Chains A and B, each alone.
Chain A
Amino acid sequence: MKQFLSFVKKEFLHIFRDLRTMLLLLGMPIMQILLFGFAITTEVKNSKVAVYDPSKSIASRKIIERVNSSRYFEVAKYLNDPAEIEHEFREGEIGLIIVFDENFETNLFHSGNGHVQLIADATDPNTATAVTNYARSIIMDYQQDLMQGMKVPFQILPDVKMLYNPQMRDAYNFVPGVLGLIMMLICAMMTSIAIVREKEMGTMEVLLVSPLKPIYIILAKAVPYFMLSCVNTVSVLLLAVYVLGVPVAGSLFWLVVLSILFVFVALSLGLLVSTVTQTQMAAMLISGMIFMMPIMLLSGMIFPVENMPLPLQFLSNIIPAKWYIIAVKDIMIKGTGVSSIYKELIILGSMVVIIVSISLKNFKNRLE
């Protein structure tokens, strides 16, 4: 045990002495949370709008005012000629152009049909849909107000309730993903690099002839990274709760259990990589290409899994982070009990068993 502890101490010294890497390791989660919390959002706000209004009427001006005062839009330009529309879009600033009819007001009040055209820059489809919907509802509101006094028959009034995330903040969706990404980065990538580095530098030989059993050497390597990821998990959770305002709705205990289980999966993956690679470069590329990229893309962290074609959906099942993210969303954001994540716990658990047994089989006591 004493021998083991001195090995752990050696590993800690390795980490502490490389100040730049350590700062990156501790700073990365904070950066990512801030980035994902504030920068990465698909919410539409202050979208720039141009208006072409040949009618120059009171009604159209009232609509423009309403559009401008909503938090989604900012009227940036008034066009004088419909030919300018194309040019405006090509400059890329304007997301939506509202075009009124020449006789908008007369048509509106006399024949009961004023025409408004909403031309959206649909290169980004989601923003276009959202912007069009918001503008439409602002105009409909105006129309509704005009009709006050007249009672409109046969109305259906939908009461909309947003469950779990009433303000529709994107951070709720990203925090579990960031947790998964960081643990993968620290545990899998760093552990594998740390082990392979000893091989590359030739110091592995020295360690293997020491009286400590080889498996303990590997375990000693994993301990500091395990601790580091615990520190990072805590800092991510604190930032998420106190800076981003994402609540921990469910049980904190099970969230911790789940995270520790996921750290074990990541550590065992790192171990597996270190048994099959010989150089740091290869270890880095494998962890980067096989772990990080798929987590960003396929785990459902940014892009919803159900939108993907079936082969990719199928592939996403072998990504541990996917299960972790689903379970964290259940516990942390929806606040459901442990019974809803049995499936994910079992899947992650069996992943640990499988990966560890494969890497133990691959693990060699001798260097060729």
Chain B
Amino acid sequence: MIKFLLEKEFKQIFRNKFLPRTILMFPVMVLLVFPLAANFEIKNINLCVVDNDHSDYSNQLVQKVISSGYYKLTSIAGNSKKALNQIEMDEADIILEIPANFEKDLVREQAAHLLISANSVNGTKGGLGSAYLTGIVTDFSSEVREKWVQSVASAKFPAIEIISQNRFNPHLSYKIYMIPALMVMVLTMLCGFLPALNIVGEKEAGTMEQINVTPIPKFVFILSKLLPYWIMGFAVLTIAFGVAFLVYGLIPAGSLGTIYFFAALYILGISGFGLVISNYSNTMQQAMFVMYFFMLILILMSGLFTPVNSMAEWAQYITVFNPLKYFMQVMRLVYLKGSGITELGTQFIALFCFALFFNLWAILNYRKTV
């Protein structure tokens, strides 16, 4: 019996003008466009310099800042008011203001002040921009110190040398971080939205009534609605792997088997969620809106764009019930770090529970009588 039902579902999918193309194009488009736009990398910070000192040292400092590569010198303002105006016009992001007597203070008084003002409407940009700049200034002062102190005396200071190392993504590329997570988003959108629209579609078209009068058991009916999306999910995932490899040269560090295994669980869960929603909706518009509402919350709270650890504590508790979060973790861990199944125990249990929960709900809730 299930064979015929599946045949019907696949025929419906392939006869639709729109669906097969979406299944093919959507992952490709998302993976091509999103990583380009979804970029938090902080670079090209526009710098405005106010140099009231015009000395050797102030020049050297400005040169050092520019050659660091983080900053783009957009203007040299005559006074701080003009510089502030630049920030208001969004032409500069950060001001480095060197006061008069900077060199004199540094050499005679052994300590000089300078002012860094960052536009922090975008907190991350302002924070990182001023942190880099402070770092460069500190470097500069120790360079100056070395030059002078060598000649003065061999005074020894307890110094700590800090070596930092960036694991798994040494070039700090944001794309690499986003791609595995974007695959999760694509899977969620396709395998969540389409089943949600499917049963409601049958309700609206009136064909649901016809199925209800057949001897098909509930379980078989729901299964026949789930399986096509399950298979479709694998196809979408494979396309996404292909794009990631061909366009970005990204190969998973862990095994593909692990990813497919978790994907199998995840797709079952999220399609089940879609079916639950379509059970409760009467029109496609309703199903669409409810799904949109949940998707927005689930995606924003999954750690796709911003880390879960940074969220407010109550928000972190809510994310315990977010299946996207777990699969997002799995994808990033396996793809980028090569984690194996033994290291992903929590995620396995969580995804397994979601799949079981939503599908049971969908089956129990589905009523043949309207």
A positions within 8 Å CB-CB of B:
20-21, 24, 28, 31-32, 35-36, 38-48, 87, 89-92, 95, 108-109, 112-130, 132-133, 136, 139-140, 142-143, 146-147, 150-170, 172-173, 193, 280-281, 284, 288, 297-298, 302-304, 306-309, 312, 326, 329-330, 333-334, 336, 340
**Interface assignment of B217: CB less than 8 Å from any CB of chain A:** no
Say whether, besides A89-B337, A308-B36, A164 and B112 are in contact (CB < 8 Å): no
**Interface assignment of B55: CB less than 8 Å from any CB of chain A:** no
- Counted as pairs of residues, one from A and one from B, with CB atoms less than 8 Å apart, the total is 309
Q: Which of A41, A87, A95 contacts B306 (CB 8 A)?
A: A41
For A306, the chain B residues whose CB sits under 8 A away are: 44
Digit string of B48-90 for contact with A (CB within 8 Å is 1, else 0)? Answer: 0000000000000000000000000000000000000001111
Name the CB-closest residue of B to A21: B289
**Seed contacts A43-B123, A125-B174, A142-B160; 12 additional CB < 8 Å A-B pairs:** A24-B289, A48-B309, A114-B161, A116-B162, A121-B337, A126-B124, A128-B166, A154-B110, A161-B115, A164-B121, A302-B305, A308-B37
Q: List 30 A-B contacts (CB under 8 A).
A: A24-B293, A38-B314, A43-B123, A45-B309, A115-B160, A116-B163, A119-B167, A120-B167, A121-B167, A126-B41, A127-B307, A130-B128, A140-B138, A140-B160, A152-B145, A153-B110, A153-B145, A153-B152, A154-B107, A154-B144, A158-B138, A161-B118, A166-B120, A280-B285, A281-B284, A302-B305, A306-B44, A307-B41, A312-B36, A340-B89
For B37, the chain A residues whose CB sits under 8 A away are: 297-298, 303, 308, 312
Whether B39 pairs with A307 at a CB distance below 8 angstroms is yes
Whether B110 pairs with A155 at a CB distance below 8 angstroms is yes
Whether B122 pairs with A173 at a CB distance below 8 angstroms is yes
Q: How far is the CA of A3 from the CA of B19 in the complex (A)?
A: 43
Whether B172 pairs with A128 at a CB distance below 8 angstroms is yes
Whether A114 pairs with B177 at a CB distance below 8 angstroms is no
Name the CB-closest residue of B to A316: B37
For A47, the chain B residues whose CB sits under 8 A away are: 309
Q: How far is the CA of A284 from the CA of B98 in the complex (A)?
A: 55
B237-245, B266-274, B328-336 - interface stretch: B328-336
Say whether, besides A41-B310, A115-B161, A162-B126, A90 and B172 are in contact (CB < 8 Å): no
Whether B163 pairs with A139 at a CB distance below 8 angstroms is no
Digit string of B153-190 for contact with A (CB within 8 Å is 1, else 0)? Answer: 00111111111111111101110110000000000000
Q: How far is the CA of A153 from the CA of B131 in the complex (A)?
A: 22
B224-232, B294-302, B355-363 - interface stretch: B294-302
For A48, the chain B residues whose CB sits under 8 A away are: 309
Name the CB-closest residue of B to A143: B160
Whether B176 pairs with A123 at a CB distance below 8 angstroms is yes
**Interface assignment of B116: CB less than 8 Å from any CB of chain A:** yes
- Size bin of chain B's contact surface: 35 or more
Least distance between A181 CB and chain B CB atoms (Å): 10
Whether B43 pairs with A307 at a CB distance below 8 angstroms is yes
Least distance between A157 CB and chain B CB atoms (Å): 5
Whether A172 pairs with B123 at a CB distance below 8 angstroms is yes
For A172, the chain B residues whose CB sits under 8 A away are: 120-121, 123
Q: Which 5 A-B pairs have the closest CB atoms?
A: A122-B166, A168-B123, A125-B172, A156-B141, A90-B339
Say whether, besides A90-B339, A123-B336, A161 and B125 are in contact (CB < 8 Å): no
Whether A304 pairs with B121 at a CB distance below 8 angstroms is no
A115, A163, A164, A170 — most chain B CB neighbours (10 Å): A163
Q: Which of B121, B310, B311 contacts A333 (CB 8 A)?
A: B121
Least distance between A106 CB and chain B CB atoms (Å): 11
Q: How far is the CA of A91 from the CA of B134 in the complex (A)?
A: 34
Say whether, besides A41-B306, A122-B168, A123-B336, A146 and B158 are in contact (CB < 8 Å): yes
Whether A32 pairs with B307 at a CB distance below 8 angstroms is no
Least distance between B343 CB and chain A CB atoms (Å): 5
Q: How far is the CA of A164 from the CA of B369 in the complex (A)?
A: 60
Least distance between B198 CB and chain A CB atoms (Å): 13
For B34, the chain A residues whose CB sits under 8 A away are: 297
Digit string of B278-319 for contact with A (CB within 8 Å is 1, else 0)? Answer: 000000111011101100110011000111011110110000
Whether A119 pairs with B165 at a CB distance below 8 angstroms is yes
Say whether, besides A90-B339, A164-B119, A329-B121, A158 and B285 are in contact (CB < 8 Å): no
Say whether, besides A154-B144, A284-B285, A41 and B168 are in contact (CB < 8 Å): no
Least distance between A164 CB and chain B CB atoms (Å): 5
Q: How far is the CA of A228 from the CA of B285 in the complex (A)?
A: 19
Name the CB-closest residue of A to B197: A281
Whether A20 pairs with B288 at a CB distance below 8 angstroms is no
Whether A173 pairs with B121 at a CB distance below 8 angstroms is yes
Q: Which of B112, B128, B130, B169 contacts A122 (CB 8 A)?
A: B169
For B127, the chain A residues whose CB sits under 8 A away are: 130, 162, 168
Least distance between B213 CB and chain A CB atoms (Å): 27
**Interface assignment of B350: CB less than 8 Å from any CB of chain A:** no
Say whether, besides A90-B339, A114-B160, A125-B173, A156 and B118 are in contact (CB < 8 Å): no
For B111, the chain A residues whose CB sits under 8 A away are: 154-157
For A136, the chain B residues whose CB sits under 8 A away are: 162, 164
Whether A118 pairs with B163 at a CB distance below 8 angstroms is yes
Q: Which of A121, A170, A307 contacts B168 (CB 8 A)?
A: A121
Q: How far is the CA of A20 from the CA of B118 in the complex (A)?
A: 45
For A87, the chain B residues whose CB sits under 8 A away are: 343
Whether A21 pairs with B162 at a CB distance below 8 angstroms is no
Least distance between B16 CB and chain A CB atoms (Å): 11
For B141, the chain A residues whose CB sits under 8 A away are: 154-156
For A127, the chain B residues whose CB sits under 8 A away are: 307
**Interface assignment of B113: CB less than 8 Å from any CB of chain A:** yes
